[in-house]
Structure 1
Amino acid sequence: MTTARQADADADAGTGAGYRPVFRVREFRPVFAAHLLSVLGVVIAEISLTVLVFRATGSPLMSALTFALGFLPYALGGTLLAPIADRLPARRVLVGCDLVCAACAAAMALPGTPVALLLVLRCAMAFVAPLFQGARAASLVDVLGSGEAYVLGRSLLRMVAQSAQLIGFGLGGLLLTVLAPRGAITLTAAGFLASALLLRFGTRARPARTGQGAARTSPLAGLRAVLGHRRLRALTLLCWLPPLFTVVPEALLTPYAAGIGASTAVLGLLMCALPVGTIAGELWAGSALTARTRSRIVAPLAAVGMLPLLVYAVRPGVLVLLAALVLAGLAHAYTLGLDRWYVDAVPEELRGRAMTLLSTGLMTLQGVGMALAGVAAEFFAVHVVVTGAAVLGTGVVLLLLAEVRATDGGADGGGRWTAGPSGRREGSRGGRPKRETGPTVK
Structure 2
Amino acid sequence: MPDQTSPPASADLQEPTGYRRVFAVREFQAVFAAFALSLLGTVVGEIALTVLVYGLTGSPLLSALTFAMGFLPYLLGGTLLSGIADRYPARRVLVVCDLVCAGCALIMAAPGTPVAALLALRCVIAVVSPVFSGTRTATLAEILGDGDLFVLGRSLLRMVSQSAVLIGFGLGGVLLTVVTPRGALAVTVTTYLCSALLLRFGTRRRPATAQGGPLVRYSLAGAREVLGDRRIRALLLLLWVPPMFMVAPEALAAAYADEIGIGTATVGLLMATMPVGTIIGEAYAGSALSPAARSRIVLPLASCGLLPLLVYPLAPGLVWILAALLVTGLAGAYTLGLDRWFVDAVPKELRGRAMTVHTAGLMTIQGIGMALAGAAAEFWPVATVVGVVGALGTACCLGLVLEVRRTSRGPMGETGLTTI
TM norm. shorter chain > 0.5: yes
For residues 263 and 137 of structure 1, the distance between their equivalents in structure 2, rounded to whole angstroms, comes to 40
Match of 1:138 in 2: 138
Match of 1:94 in 2: 94
For residues 247 and 256 of structure 1, the distance between their equivalents in structure 2, rounded to whole angstroms, comes to 14
Deviations along 1:318-360, one digit per CA (max 9) or x if unpaired, are 1111111001000101110010110110100110000000010
Note if contact 1:105-1:186 (Cα within 8 Å) is conserved in structure 2.
Answer: yes
Q: Does 1:117 align with 2:117?
A: yes
**Is there any run of 5+ residues in structure 1 with no aligned partner, and where?**
1-14, 411-415, 426-442
Matches within 5 A, 1:311-350: 311-350=311-350
Shift of 1:418: 3.2
For residues 417 and 201 of structure 2, the distance between their equivalents in structure 1, rounded to whole angstroms, comes to 33
Shift of 1:409: 2.5
Matches within 5 A, 1:292-311: 292-311=292-311
Match of 2:254 in 1: 254
Q: Does 1:149 align with 2:144?
A: no
For residues 320 and 357 of structure 2, the distance between their equivalents in structure 1, rounded to whole angstroms, comes to 37
Question: What stretches of structure 1 move > 6 A for 4+ residues in a row?
Answer: none
Shift of 1:250: 1.1
Match of 1:419 in 2: 414
Q: Does 1:31 align with 2:26?
A: no
Note if contact 1:16-1:287 (Cα within 8 Å) is conserved in structure 2.
Answer: no
Shift of 1:259: 1.1
Shift of 1:220: 2.3
Shift of 1:380: 1.3
Amino acid at match of 1:419: E
Match of 1:388 in 2: 388
Shift of 1:214: 7.8
Deviations along 1:11-67, one digit per CA (max 9) or x if unpaired, are xxxx88220000000100010000001100110001101111111111111111110
Shift of 1:316: 2.8
Match of 2:50 in 1: 50
Query: Given the superposition, is the C-alpha separation of residues 114 and 322 from structure 1 closer, same or farther in structure 2, using an over 3 Å criterion?
Result: same
Identity %: 63
Amino acid at match of 1:135: T
Amino acid at match of 2:334: Y
Bigger fraction of residues in helix? 2
Shift of 1:217: 4.1
Shift of 1:211: 2.6
Amino acid at match of 2:349: E
Tell me the number of residue pairs that the alignment of Structure 1 and Structure 2 aligns.
404
Shift of 1:313: 2.0
For residues 22 and 220 of structure 1, the distance between their equivalents in structure 2, rounded to whole angstroms, comes to 33
Q: Which shows bigger deviation, 218-227 or 201-210?
A: 218-227
Note if contact 1:87-1:214 (Cα within 8 Å) is conserved in structure 2.
Answer: no
Shift of 1:168: 0.3
For residues 377 and 174 of structure 1, the distance between their equivalents in structure 2, rounded to whole angstroms, comes to 32
Match of 1:437 in 2: none
Q: Cα RMSD (Å) of the superposition?
A: 1.6
Note if contact 2:81-2:215 (Cα within 8 Å) is conserved in structure 1.
Answer: no
Amino acid at match of 1:248: A
3-state SS of paired residue (1:112)? coil
Match of 1:182 in 2: 182
**Is there any run of 5+ residues in structure 2 with no aligned partner, and where?**
1-14
Deviations along 1:183-227, one digit per CA (max 9) or x if unpaired, are 110010011011011101100100001034585843321111001
Q: Does 1:376 align with 2:376?
A: yes
Q: Which shows bigger deviation, 211-220 or 121-130?
A: 211-220
Note if contact 2:405-2:417 (Cα within 8 Å) is conserved in structure 1.
Answer: no
Shift of 1:379: 1.4
